[in-house]
Structure 1
Amino acid sequence: MKMALKKESFRRYDSADYLKSEEDIAAYLEACSEANDPVLMAVALGTVARARNISQLARETGLTREGLYKALSAEGNPSLATAMKVANALGYQLRLVPAGH
């Protein structure tokens, strides 16, 4: 007798689904910044943008939704100006601090 196997379906994992509060977002951005990896930071800003409202963020930054998705992806390479606009619109600022602080 052959048993029928139940077919499983999975959704793609997205960190944005788990950023529910401002505390979650702050902790996520801080953890990502510790890696000192510009690609990871761009992706992290994109993740926070998706967790919030990327359409609203596009209006606040003057950039298109598509442009934000592209720039803040692993394949993107946002300019410093774009990263600063996005951070500011999300309520953050980019700073330079002495290493190790």
Structure 2
Amino acid sequence: MKKRKVDVSKNLDTPERQKDFIGKAIASGDADAIRDALGLVARKRGMTDIATATNLNRESLYRSLGSGGNPEFATVMKVMKALGLRLSIALDKATSSRTGRGRSSA
């Protein structure tokens, strides 16, 4: 039996769902998943509009955010801003408890 490819973008019809989708990718810690999620949402919103908002070349964005792309961190941040998102940080309690209970390693 053939596996059917699921079009995830159909479920990304609101900014809230798009935020949650990208947030889950970021929480996974998988750089490829983050790139793919940003690319999918950027295409859903319109890559031309994202390129204009970021002052980046549209074709370059397609390459950076496409499969096998490796966007610079500055590009990721510009795309997130264009999508109306911001990066924030939270303490990972499971990891912090294993790494010395808050002691500085620097």
Place the TM-score, normalised by the shorter chain, in its bin: 0.7 to 0.9
TM (normalized to structure 2)? Answer: 0.75
| Runs of 4+ in structure 1 over 4 Å off | none
Which ranges of structure 1 fall in alignment gaps of 5 or more residues?
A: 1-10
1:38 deviation in Å?
A: 1.1
Which ranges of structure 2 fall in alignment gaps of 5 or more residues?
A: 95-106
Distance in 2 between the 1:82 and 1:42 partners? 11
Aligned residue number for residue 55 of structure 1: 48
Aligned residues: 91
Computing the radius of gyration from Cα coordinates, the structure with the larger value is: 1
RCO higher in 1 or 2 (8 Å CA, sep ≥ 6)?
Answer: 1
1:13-59 Cα shifts (integer Å, max 9, x gaps) = 44223311122112211222221111110111111101111101100
* Greater share of residues in helix: 2
- Percentage identity across paired residues of the two chains: 35
TM (normalized to structure 1)? Answer: 0.78
Distance in 2 between the 1:57 and 1:28 partners? 18
Aligned residue number for residue 80 of structure 2: 87
1:28-47 aligned at under 5 Å gives the runs 28-47=21-40
1:12 deviation in Å?
A: 6.2
RMSD: 2.0
Q: Confirm or deny: 8 A CA contact 2:19 2:85 kept in the other structure.
A: no
